[in-house]
């Protein structure tokens, strides 16, 4: 591992189970996640068995790049072991939650309930869909649920 880590960071890197990392900007989340992924790879987990989820596409791209850099550094030291890992890195799921859900829906359209005609809407298509469908769907909610919605959304139904 590169550099030193705090106790909680070290535990996140080496935890034997799934982890969620939540911290402020500049706290080292991406570095810890990248080290965690490399730690998993060192332990024999294959890239296709790993899913790393971030909030933004930019964070996912940075995480993918950081993982690739760390793996490349290890491949320089131990080529036989890390070359195969390096070639399989594209199989790793590093994306936003939307990207992960989209992948599941595309790869398993029936099982996920998305259906065979599944498509991801762009921003304008999503806004159009919401305008057409949200109010009628919300109107079907029980009153006790409806009153819990934010006022702006509730106003569309009323």
pLDDT at 156: 67
Record the tokens describing residue 97, joined without a space. 């939650």
Nearest to 70 by CA among 2, 16, 10: 2
Is the pLDDT confidence value at 86 over 90?
A: yes
Is the pLDDT confidence value at 131 over 90?
A: no
pLDDT at 135: 80
Record the tokens describing residue 9, joined without a space. 């960071």
Complete domains list, the chain, with CATH: 7-118 (3.40.50.300), 121-158 (no CATH)
Q: What number is the average pLDDT over the span 19-31?
A: 90
pLDDT at 157: 67
pLDDT at 125: 92
pLDDT at 32: 95
Q: Which helix (DSSP H) or strand (DSSP E) does residue 140 occupy?
A: none
Q: What is the pTM of this model?
A: 0.74
Is the pLDDT confidence value at 43 over 80?
A: yes
Is the pLDDT confidence value at 77 over 90?
A: yes
SS3 of 21-70: CCCCCCCCHHHHHHHHHHHHHHCCCCHHHCEEEECCHHHHHHHHHHHHHH
């Amino acid at each position: 591992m590169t550099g030193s880590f705090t106790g909680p960071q070290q535990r996140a890197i080496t935890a034997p189970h799934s982890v969620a990392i939540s911290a402020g900007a500049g706290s080292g989340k991406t570095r810890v996640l990248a080290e965690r992924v490399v730690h998993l790879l060192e332990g024999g987990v294959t890239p296709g068995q790993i899913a790393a989820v971030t909030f933004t596409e930019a964070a996912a791209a940075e995480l993918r790049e950081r993982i690739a850099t760390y793996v490349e550094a290890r491949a320089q030291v131990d080529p036989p072991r890390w070359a195969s890992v390096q070639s399989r890195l594209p199989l790793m799921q590093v994306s936003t939650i939307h990207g992960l859900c989209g992948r599941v829906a595309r790869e398993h359209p029936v099982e996920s309930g998305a259906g065979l005609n599944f498509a991801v809407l762009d921003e304008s298509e999503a806004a159009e869909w919401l305008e057409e469908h949200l109010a009628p769907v919300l109107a079907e909610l029980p009153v006790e649920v409806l009153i819990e919605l934010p006022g702006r959304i509730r106003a569309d139904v009323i």
